[in-house]
Structure 1
Amino acid sequence: MKLMTLAFKSISNRRASVLLTLFTIAISVMLLLSIERVRQEAKQSFSSTISGTDLIVGARTGDIQLLLSSVFRIGHANNGLSWQSYQYIKQQKGVAWTIPISLGDSHRGFSVLGSDGSYFKYYRYGNKQNLAFSQGRPFHNAREVVLGSEVAKQLHYHLGQKIIVAHGMGNTSFHHHDDNPLIVTGILAPTGTPVDKTVHVPLKAIELMHGPKHGSAQIMRQKSNSDAQHDHEHEHEHEHEHEHEHEHEHDKHHEVIDSQLGDLIGQPKQITAFLMGFDSPLYTLQVRRNINIYKPEALSAIMPGVTLRELWGMLDIIEKILLLFSAVVVLISLLGMLTTLLSSLSQRRRELAILRSVGARPRHIFTLMVSEAVLITTIGCAIGVAMFYMAILIGKGILQAHFGISISISMLSNYELVLLSVIMVSGTLMGAIPAVRAYFYSLNDGMSIKV
């Protein structure tokens, strides 16, 4: 215990060089832990985005491209598939459910996804979790829209609000569908997946926005007639004061709560892709083979789990490079500590001789030098962990907003603790090198320095 106190006082007397060493070790630890946490969370985020889906079907393209465009909203599909092919394939034996997906529009930088009621019923994420609503309900007709949690949060949208969808992906919008405003009827609970950053509309709404003008004019006329009829009833009830407030509240929320069920699909010519679930894995393999040799049009059917493993296999070399880069940074910081201890060793020979004069043995000198290295490494790791959590706290919003990676602020994992242990052991070994030299200096010098 006395040696540890002496070691602490010794490094305090050399605070300038020690602080620089601590800073380099802390930076390297923060970098190593940050890279590992982002790598693990990115893989977890990708893996949990879709669950319980047996096949994803789209126009013939690369498996990874189809997965990224249809599920992760990364890139875009070059072509779509015909609605007739979708209807034919969904009727195959063993098909339990299907979810049609139409992409291509956006709203203020967020992707717009067209589908039908099966999306909210069958889509799974994480550990086969269902989509849940934090507010409202699914859309019932072509004039309604459901928002992901991040969309509603960042744009400050609420139930009953009207929004305008634009044609074009991302922040690039080529045409705003001002004649087809959609009413927000639901906001999904957070999932930590691209669903949170998606605007969900019925397929019928996509058709109306991209179809002939008379389609949109018709729906607007229906809206106008409905509003006119409602206003007439409102005036009639105005004579009865006790019913006036009730009717006013009904007028405020009637589009959100009391909207009638309508056509969600329409007559689309094509869709971007569709998800499939089967009654048995045997049907999955059989239908996948039939889709890949489907003659009316060139289609691809991929298994999400298999394609994800292929994706991580391609990125494996990048993960290894990142890990190597982090290890090199840690090694450089430890070598800096070694250099600092070695450079100060010659200047401390008189100090070591004085310690010998008061009864210290060579093994005490060795232990003192090792203790200094352990202290520097431990303090550097502690500061690095604190900086790591600060970096997560600051950067988690940026990663979620720009890359869709949800980083959790949690305790260090076993793997991360192993990395810290390796750094601690390496620091101790680095400290043993100057400690061995100090041991022999102590033996040679005795209680006085030989000049």
Structure 2
Amino acid sequence: MKTMILLAWQSLLNRRATALLTILTVAISTTLLLGVEKVRTQTKASFAQTISDTDLIVGARSGQVNLLLYSIFRIGNATNNIDWKTYQTLSEQKNVKWTIPISLGDSHQGFRVIGTNQDYFRHYRYGSKQPLSFSQGEMFHGLFETVIGSEVARKLGYQLGDKIIIAHGISDKAFTRHDNLPFVVTGILAPTGTPVDRSVHVSLGAIEAIHVGWGTGTRLTNASQIGALDQQYFEPKQITAVLVGLNSKIHTFALQRFINNFPDEPLSAIMPGVALHELWGMMSVAEQALMVVSVFVVIAGLLGMLSSLLTSLNERRREMAILRATGARPGWIAGLLFLEASVLTLTGIVTGMGLLYSGLWLCHDWLLETFGLFLPFSPPSIYEWILMGLILSAGMLTSLIPALRAYHFSLADGMTIRI
């Protein structure tokens, strides 16, 4: 066995250019497979952890996926709004610990504007119950102050103290902008990998103020007019949705039934986890497509290795004949080729793992800030070890083809090759 290992090593050194290309092929296949798998699993995990520690989301009567999309992912629009008195009634329920009102409908250069209050920054959780944090500044206090997400700040180049103009509706056109009442950036949130990064947050009072007289053409022309108005102008009349946290999860179903049967207006209360699971199930085709791509990448890599081995085998037929002539048995020669291919596969897997984790270490912050994709720098999971074992097994099985061919080479065939 020691002689076979030494001979295999010397053979690989003599064909180092071909061996390196084979290792690189397997390494790239391994990197892509594990990389795509990490993206797939972490995307699913991040998707499921877009919101956490919130027991119910309440909105106008609608399907739970639609309610989840517009309230959390800022996609689409609400079927209707919720009366402010209804929100106050919900907040006063004895089992309710906290509530976060949300008002949607405005935008800023393609980013959704979220009207809310300071409870949003105190109670909103994502991931594993992680709170929102500020990379710069603090939460808004004044009427025309705003807190922006990390992606808004990065793409639009905003800094603390900059002024921004909010537009009425989703399309940001000149005639829809509230350019008479600019907002000052007082805080920039740290990246979360969630839709929070792509949101502009203002107070509920500010949402009311910029729409005073909007429908009649008597809107405010500047912020100095605010002091002349009674504060009742700035109490919301309606909001879009409510995030609810309870004192105990035991009361979740009871409160959900109460809200779904609310007598004053038609409402829907959904549990975020259930709605997220349903939404991900609708996108399972994309998840399966990623898996198929991963598998075909590995197959392509193994076929490349097989092609390389078969090509080199034809070039080594005289070498095999000499080994036979010196007493090597056909099974020994087949074992030699099997060992060489196994070493190449194993080395390629190790190299691929090194490439993957080096890339994760170097690009971790960039991926989070650019794509909002959080890929933790953690040891391989059991599933990833299984995948690497499958790649090694597939590589060893692939090597049986050239090994069996070498087994059937005869001494006469090797000695009569024309060069």
Give the TM interval when normalised to the shorter protein.
0.7 to 0.9
Instruction: Give the TM-score taking structure 1 as reference length.
Output: 0.79
Deviation of 1:70 after TM superposition, in Å, equals 1.0
Q: Which residue of 2 aligns with 1:435?
A: 403
Conserved 8 A contact 1:66-1:77: yes
Q: Which residue of 1 aligns with 2:6?
A: 2
Q: Which residue of 2 aligns with 1:104?
A: 105
Deviation of 1:291 after TM superposition, in Å, equals 1.6
Q: Structure 1 residues 266, 92: CA separation in 2 closer, same or farther (over 3 Å shift)?
A: same
Q: Structure 1 residues 148, 173: CA separation in 2 closer, same or farther (over 3 Å shift)?
A: farther
Q: Structure 1 residues 162, 317: CA separation in 2 closer, same or farther (over 3 Å shift)?
A: closer
Distance 2:128 2:257 in 1: 27
Deviations 1:245-300 (A, max 9, x none): xxxxxxxxxxxxxxxxx979923232121101112223221121122223433221
Q: Structure 1 residues 130, 282: CA separation in 2 closer, same or farther (over 3 Å shift)?
A: same
How many positions carry a matched residue from both structures?
408
User: Is the deviation greater in 129-138 or in 406-415?
Assistant: 406-415
Conserved 8 A contact 1:104-1:167: yes
Q: Structure 1, unaligned stretches of length 5 or more?
A: 226-261
State the secondary structure of the residue aligned to 2:78: coil
State the secondary structure of the residue aligned to 1:111: strand
Q: Structure 2, unaligned stretches of length 5 or more?
A: none
Q: Structure 1 residues 215, 92: CA separation in 2 closer, same or farther (over 3 Å shift)?
A: farther
Conserved 8 A contact 1:21-1:336: yes
Distance 2:400 2:231 in 1: 76
Q: Structure 1 residues 22, 265: CA separation in 2 closer, same or farther (over 3 Å shift)?
A: farther
Distance 2:224 2:145 in 1: 13
User: Is the deviation greater in 149-158 or in 271-280?
Assistant: 149-158
User: Is the deviation greater in 99-108 or in 342-351?
Assistant: 342-351
Distance 1:265 1:118 in 2: 21
Do residues 280 (structure 1) and 248 (structure 2) align?
yes
State the secondary structure of the residue aligned to 1:49: coil
Q: Structure 1 residues 49, 351: CA separation in 2 closer, same or farther (over 3 Å shift)?
A: same
Q: Which residue of 2 aligns with 1:136?
A: 137
Conserved 8 A contact 1:111-1:170: no
Q: Structure 1 residues 321, 186: CA separation in 2 closer, same or farther (over 3 Å shift)?
A: closer
| Map 1:383-402 → 2, pairs under 5 A | 384-385=352-353, 388=356, 397=366, 401=370
| Map 1:1-150 → 2, pairs under 5 A | 1-12=5-16, 15=18, 24-150=25-151
**Residue identity in the other structure for 2:223:** I
Conserved 8 A contact 2:108-2:167: yes
Q: Structure 1 residues 145, 435: CA separation in 2 closer, same or farther (over 3 Å shift)?
A: same
Deviation of 1:186 after TM superposition, in Å, equals 2.1
State the secondary structure of the residue aligned to 1:216: coil
| Map 1:21-420 → 2, pairs under 5 A | 24-169=25-170, 175-212=176-213, 216-217=220-221, 219-221=223-225, 266-382=234-350, 384-385=352-353, 388=356, 397=366, 401=370, 404-408=372-376, 411-420=379-388
Q: Structure 1 residues 41, 19: CA separation in 2 closer, same or farther (over 3 Å shift)?
A: same
Q: Structure 1 residues 164, 448: CA separation in 2 closer, same or farther (over 3 Å shift)?
A: closer
Deviations 1:58-93 (A, max 9, x none): 122221221122112233334322223222222233
Q: Structure 1 residues 74, 173: CA separation in 2 closer, same or farther (over 3 Å shift)?
A: farther
Q: Structure 1 residues 340, 172: CA separation in 2 closer, same or farther (over 3 Å shift)?
A: farther
Conserved 8 A contact 2:137-2:187: yes
Distance 1:331 1:60 in 2: 49
Instruction: Give the TM-score taking structure 2 as reference length.
Output: 0.84
State the secondary structure of the residue aligned to 2:316: helix
Conserved 8 A contact 1:7-1:369: no
Conserved 8 A contact 2:64-2:275: yes
Conserved 8 A contact 2:208-2:235: yes
Identity %: 48
Deviation of 1:428 after TM superposition, in Å, equals 1.2
Deviation of 1:56 after TM superposition, in Å, equals 0.3
Distance 2:365 2:51 in 1: 22
Distance 2:357 2:76 in 1: 32
Distance 2:299 2:338 in 1: 18
